[in-house]
Each structure stands twice: as C-alpha cells, then as structure tokens.
Structure 1
Amino acid sequence: MIFVKTQRGMEYIAMQNIKELMGDVKIEVRPAGYLGVLIVHSDDIEKVKEVPEVEKAIPILFELRSDLDEILGKAEEIVEAMGDFETFAVRTTRRGLRHDFNSMDVNIRLGRRIQEISGKEVDLNQPDKAVYVEIVNERTFIGILDGEEERRKYMPEKVDSLKFFGKVSFVQMPYLENPKGAREIGERIGRSAQSFEIKELIIAPYGYVDADELYEFLRGLRRGKESRLKIQRRSYARDVREVRVLVHDLYQTFRDKRRKRSVLISTDPTGKQLSEIREELKRAFERADEIVIFAGSRTGLPKGILRLSDFVIDLTPYITFPTEIAIPASLIALLDVYEEMVQEREQK
C-alpha cells in the first residue's frame, strides 16, 4: 500500500489520474473524512508519483492500531527496514482527537527507541532516512523514505539565507491613512517581517502622527507577526527567530545606526539600479555586522536620509510598489547579492 498526500480538495482528481495510469486499483479517498489523504492499494509507487496532484507518496511497511506501545513495538522492524543509514528523523502526523498521545510523543519516544537500537543520530534537517508515522483515527501507517527530499531544503551547498536576514534591521515608516487601512497594511508588514526572520523591525515615524492610526497600524502589525510565527513554529523542524519590533523616531534611528560596521541602505525611485552598484554592495556586505534598510510609506523617505545613506537603491525602476511589498522586495533582491558574495568568497 501507498499513503498519498495531496493538497486539500485535490483527492478525487488525484484518484482519477492514478486510476488512469494504474487501472482499476483500489483507492481509499479521504479515509475517515480527512482531506488531502488517499490510501492506494498497490506497491507501484513510481506510477503514483507520476501524478502531479500527489504531493508525497509513502510506501506503507506496517499498518497497526493507533496505540503508542504498538507503534514503539515496531522499532526493531523499522530499523531493519531502514537498511544503511547514519542519521534519521521521525515525522508524525496525527489525525483524530481520541488518542492518549500526541505527535510529539511519537516523534520523541520512537526516535529514542530507534536511536537505542541502531546507535545512529537524529537529524531533523538532513536525515539519511525519514520514518513517517501517519495516524488516521484508529489506524496507523508507518513508512520510510530516503532523506533526499528533506535534504533538498537544507543542502550544504546552499547559502543559508537566515545568516543574511539575521543581520537585517528593517526601518519602516508607518502607513497612516485611516485606522482600518493602517491596520490591514500593518498586518501584512508584520507577516512579511516574521516570514524572513529578520533581526528587528523598527517602525519609525517622524514629527506628529495620529495616535489612533498609529495604534491600529501597530495592532495589525502584531497580529500579522504572531499569526506567521505560529505557522512557522508548527511547520519548521528548527528554532524560529521571533522578530523584535521597536518604535523610534526616524531621524534618531538613522543617527543611532550610523556605526562603523553598519551598511545603511535606503529604497527610493531616485536611487540607482541594483546592477549599477552590485559590486560595491558585495564589498559592503563582506564587512557588515548589520545591514539597515530604510523604506518609506505613502510618503517617501526624507531627502536628508537619502543623502546620507551608504546606498540608495531603486528596486523596481518605473514602478512604485505598495508599502507592504517593501520588505519582501528589498530582502529578496539583496539576498541575491549576498548569495553571490558568499559563493565568490568560497571559490577563492
């Protein structure tokens, strides 16, 4: 049997396409009513993987009752089925509300048991083998996949973008128009900042601002940040960096950030294209302990800030992007420069 995962709502389309390839094979669609799941009664996993609606196909080695002791009792057979490996990970998805254990219990206790039997190490990011425990109410399915798919996310030759984002202090002028609009834009900005796990986000007005609008903007920002943080903590097999959010005057922030090993970058349509200053940026990133990016809002950055910045960049010539796009547009563009700098350094 093969345990198949699809996007929610794509189960019946996947079933039809699998049957077109494999004939009248028995398929359980949405077992116990759970979306995004099929159980294919066949061992031809390569045929199943030809269907684009299939997100993951796991060959089922064991089917048993959803009892933690029974699952742990399969540890020796699991190790035997894993063959040669040095590192492993256990991935559990529990569906159903009437179990006396949770997914983490299975991950920890089964992982410890496999470690005791095999003497091998746990590696959640780049395992040689991944043990999948798929629980559907009272039925539990266990399968093993080669760790290649997990390794693709964290291959050693890939540049670790978190090292770059961990140096970034993003200074954003608040979006202040009306309370509802400020709240919505704030939520999008908060979600973006947390998505990239930057070092800090500084909200930097200057002069007098409307208190209600600023309150709603910060309220939305916090909501967006928290919602994204919850998803990251649930999804990532690593610690997630929570973005620190500060409020400070724009001009004073600029003064504070003008340090010896800081690079100050402003985004503005009057700036240069990235291609013109790419080499200079790479040299600056090489020595920088902190990369400070300034972004305007409905009004652009003040001319004094632009004049004294180390770099002024026009990220999208002839296009003015909305305020909530400033963080992803800036970080993705500058990450490309940073990656190139790291690769060139390693080749020397």
Structure 2
Amino acid sequence: MMEKTTIIVKTHKNLERIAASYIRDLIPDSEVLVKPNGYAGIILLKVKSVDAQTLKTTLITIPEIEKILFVRKCVEANLDRICEAVRHLARVSLKENEKFAVHTVRRGNHPFTSIDVNIKVGTCIQQETQCKVDLTLPDKIFWIEIIDNKAYISIVSRDIFYRKKTPDKLDNMKYLKKTIIVQMPYLDEIASSKIGVRIGRIVQSYEIPSIIVAPIYRVNAKELMYFLQGIHEGIMSRYKLQLKTYNDRKVSKTRVYLHDLYQLVRNINRDKEGIIITTTKGQPIKEETITKVKSLYMDKKKVYVFIGSREGIPTGLFKFADILLDVAPQITLATDVAVSSIISAILNMLLL
C-alpha cells in the first residue's frame, strides 16, 4: 500500500472550506479534513506520496492558502516524545554551522505552553547537533503544530515568514527622529476635528517627535480648538495600538505645539536645523533633489518639513527654505493625506 504524505494547510479563519474545495478539485485523490477537532484556519491533508515540489506547486496556486507544512513526524503531544522526534530530524536535516529556530502553534489544553515547547525542543536540537539558535535569520525552522493530543512536526525555510524587519531593510527611525512637521491648520467648524484626527494618526504612525500647528494670522479659536483636539485624539488612538503591537521596542509619542508660522521660521537655528517647504511650486523628485535632501539630513540635527492646508505655505517664506519640494507634480494633495505622502516621499529619497 502506497504511503501517504501528511500536509498541514493553513488559511485565514473562515476560508478553510473554500480552500478545501479547490484542493479537492486539484488533487482529487486527497483526503481533506477541514477544521480538525473544530479548530479554524487549518486543513489536514493526506495525499498519496508524490514529489513534494509538485504538490507545493499545485497548492500555492490557491490564494486562500497562507502556509503549507509538509509533516515529517507526527507524535503524541508530549514534550519528551516531541523532543525525541525532533532529535532524529535535526540529526539528518541540519548541516554543520547551520542556524535554526523553533516555532510552535498549540491548540487544546496541555500542561505546557508553546514557549515551553520552543525552549525544550531548542535545547534538544543544540544537544544533538551543536547548532546555534537564530530567531532572526535561521537557516531552518522546526515548525510544530499541536492539535489536542497530536504534534505534527515540519521543517521549513525562513521564507515562510514575511517579516517586518530584515537586514536588507534600512532603519527609517534615524531619519524620522530628526523630522519635525510644521502643519498649517485646517480650519472648518465641521471638518477640522476629522482632519485633525487623520493627521494625528499619521504623525504618530511615523513616530514623528513633534508636530507644530502654525497659523499665519488671527484664526477662529473654536475651529482651531477642534483641529488640535482631533490631532491629540488621532495621536492617542494610534499610540495605544502601537504599545500593544511593538513589544520589542519603545514607542515614542508625538508632541503637539502651537506656534505662529512666521515667528517659528525666525526661531529656527539655521546652522543646526534645516527647512523643507512642500509646495506645488517646488522642485520635483529627481537626482539633484534627492542629493539635497540626503545632505540636509546628514548635516542638520533637525529638519522642519512645512506643509500647507487649504492655503499653501506663504511664498514670502520660500527664501528661507533649504529645499522647495513638490512630491506630486500637477497634483494638489488633500490636507489629510499630504503628511503621509510627503513623509513617505522623503523617506524613499533618503533610502535610495
């Protein structure tokens, strides 16, 4: 009797049955168990042994499928049994000087946690092979899916993860920490608050150290209050989410200031601080502009980025700018999207 290959297929929750339907169409002789023991987001697949690459090539054509795990061992969900199985796999799979990681997903009630499994299995692998753990860029990942009383063990490459941080991604934060947003207020009794919330969420998303709201003349205090309250609300909503999301680093909260635009320009220390004014009358993004932006961030401790609102930045201030920048020629950006568009454009120039 031909041996069967066991595969764990992972999907977004509530898409298991759709994925399973396509699997049955593409691999008619497969045994497909959707939501084993009622657990969402998982399909247990058994197929008559064929080339693994052929199976993978078939399965990756199904967009609902997120991960494909070829099971190398299935054992009782017991730390000692799992460790014993992984020892053998590590001995035949890990080459000298290769680095590894352990990833465990546990479903059901057990006298141990996923972290307990990772630590135990990691120690067993090190004892067996002398290979080192590398959680950032491992050569191989020992992936363990525990479903109630069974543990399914796979070995996968690090490409299975789509990571936010990789060595080829440059550090945005060193540039963002130098950036101060100078925003002319959006004044409207109805829309000021909503626009403020959106701007607040954007500057906090980038963890801009501070945003300076800068009117150019006497303004309606009530409308300005709504705008400032909206910015604070947007910052706080995003900041709370970041605290939950970024467990590996400290999150910086954006500060909000109010300053007359003209007096602000007078107070900027031009020896140590730079000015970028964004305007439809500025220079487009080209090699010369990119060089200027890079030099400015390299030479100055702070860079003030001026952004207009319903009115643009007054042309009388243009002569004080180190760079006049037009990030989207022939397009007038809406106030609530201008900040994100401008910050993204500047970062892209700096990282080129």
Q: What TM-score does the superposition give when structure 1 sets the normalisation length? A: 0.77
Equivalent position of 1:332 in the other structure: 344
Equivalent position of 1:244 in the other structure: 253
**CA separation in 1, counterparts of 2:351 and 2:99?**
28
* Alignment gaps of 5+ in structure 2: 1-5
Identify the match of residue 311 of structure 1 among 314, 323, 334: 323
Equivalent position of 1:222 in the other structure: 236
**CA separation in 1, counterparts of 2:37 and 2:351?**
46
Deviation at 1:70, TM superposition (A): 4.7
1:18 corresponds to 2:23:
yes
The equivalences for 1:1-348 within 5 A come to: 1-42=6-47, 44-68=55-79, 70-84=81-95, 86-96=98-108, 98-150=109-161, 156-173=167-184, 175=186, 177-178=188-189, 181=191, 184-196=194-206, 198-206=207-215, 209-210=221-222, 211=225, 213-233=227-247, 239-250=248-259, 251=261, 258=269, 260-275=271-286, 277-303=289-315, 305-340=317-352
Deviation at 1:59, TM superposition (A): 1.4
Secondary structure, aligned partner of 2:101: strand
Could you tell me whether the CA contact under 8 Å between 2:209 and 2:252 is conserved in 1?
yes
Q: Which runs of 4+ in 1 moved over 6 A?
A: none
Deviation at 1:182, TM superposition (A): 5.1
Could you tell me whether the CA contact under 8 Å between 2:71 and 2:153 is conserved in 1?
yes
Deviation at 1:128, TM superposition (A): 1.0
Deviation at 1:315, TM superposition (A): 1.5
The higher radius of gyration belongs to: 2
Secondary structure, aligned partner of 2:235: helix
Deviation readout 1:269-313 (Å, 9 max, x if unpaired): 232222262332233344344444233344544555544232221
Secondary structure, aligned partner of 2:328: coil
Greater Cα shift, 309-318 or 4-13 = 4-13
* Alignment gaps of 5+ in structure 1: 234-238, 341-348
Equivalent position of 2:3 in the other structure: none
What is the identity percentage for the equivalent residue pairs of Structure 1 and Structure 2?
A: 31
Could you tell me whether the CA contact under 8 Å between 1:187 and 1:224 is conserved in 2?
no
Secondary structure, aligned partner of 2:144: strand
Could you tell me whether the CA contact under 8 Å between 2:235 and 2:254 is conserved in 1?
no
- What is the aligned length? 332
Structure with more helix by fraction: 1
Secondary structure, aligned partner of 1:248: strand
Deviation readout 1:215-272 (Å, 9 max, x if unpaired): 3431232112322442344xxxxx3451321122344665665453543222222322
**CA separation in 2, counterparts of 1:277 and 1:23?**
58
Equivalent position of 1:345 in the other structure: none
Could you tell me whether the CA contact under 8 Å between 1:258 and 1:264 is conserved in 2?
no
